[in-house]
């Protein structure tokens, strides 16, 4: 209860309902695995934002989703990452991945996942830590991204990634 200076002697009660934003999935990359992941995540109710300047980073490959297809990494500045968001780095090229990770780690989203081997993730983490990025956020990164279901095709990998994100979202 909040006291107010009132001559009538009444009370004022204020009820607050905290509304948390739904987590969005921000996909860095637009290749086959990114396309499959985006489709399945959209079907599962995620709002999707795709960032890539490649020829595959086009709206036609990501219907009903937001696509940012302009000069990379400058295009990242137009994408606000909220603390409730999930970020999937699904590109495959080291300079692209490092730029995406630098941007995501600063924002401290609920989830950061990286496509690739554990060795690649280790090297990226070491480099970013040496640049002064938050070790706690980097150590919480999911890499390799996705649940281990022995996935092989882009579609199977997409399923494993979305399953991991649902697990994270649902706690």
Asked whether residue 157 is assigned to any structural domain, the reply reads: yes
- Which residues in the chain show pLDDT less than 70? 1-6, 9-12, 19
User: What's the pLDDT at 128?
Assistant: 97
Asked whether residue 10 is assigned to any structural domain, the reply reads: no
The one-character DSSP state at 140 is T
Asked whether residue 12 is assigned to any structural domain, the reply reads: no
Q: Domain containing 79 — which CATH number?
A: 3.40.50.720
User: Per the structure, how many domains does the chain have?
Assistant: 1
Residues in the chain, overall count: 171
Asked whether residue 18 is assigned to any structural domain, the reply reads: no
SS3 assignment, position 133: coil
User: What's the pLDDT at 21?
Assistant: 74
The one-character DSSP state at 86 is E
Asked whether residue 8 is assigned to any structural domain, the reply reads: no
Taking only the tens place, the pLDDT of each residue in 94-139 is 999 999 999 999 999 999 999 999 999 999 999 999 999 999 999 9
User: What's the pLDDT at 6?
Assistant: 64
Asked whether residue 92 is assigned to any structural domain, the reply reads: yes
Asked whether residue 121 is assigned to any structural domain, the reply reads: yes
User: What's the pLDDT at 9?
Assistant: 66
Asked whether residue 9 is assigned to any structural domain, the reply reads: no
Q: What is the span of the domain harbouring residue 157?
A: 25-170
Dihedrals φ, ψ of 36, to 5°? -65, -45
> Measured at the alpha carbon of residue 158, what is the angle toward residues 153 and 160, in degrees to the nearest 5?
95
C-alpha to C-alpha distance for 76 and 90, rounded to whole angstroms: 15
């Amino acid at each position: 209860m909040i006291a107010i200076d009132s001559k009538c002697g009444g009370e004022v009660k204020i009820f607050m309902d905290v509304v948390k934003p739904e987590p969005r999935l921000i996909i860095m990359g637009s290749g086959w695995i990114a396309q499959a992941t985006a489709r399945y995540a959209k079907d599962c109710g995620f709002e999707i934002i795709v960032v890539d300047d490649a020829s595959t980073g086009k709206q036609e490959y990501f219907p009903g989703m937001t696509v940012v297809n302009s000069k990379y990494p400058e295009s990242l500045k137009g994408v606000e990452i909220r603390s409730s968001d999930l970020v999937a780095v699904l590109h495959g090229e080291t300079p692209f991945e490092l730029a995406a990770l630098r941007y995501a780690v600063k924002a401290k989203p609920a989830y950061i996942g990286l496509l690739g081997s554990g060795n690649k993730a280790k090297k990226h983490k070491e480099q970013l830590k040496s640049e002064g990025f938050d070790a706690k956020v980097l150590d919480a990164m999911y890499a390799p991204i996705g649940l281990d279901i022995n996935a092989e095709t882009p579609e199977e990998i997409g399923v494993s990634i979305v399953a991991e994100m649902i697990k994270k979202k649902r706690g």
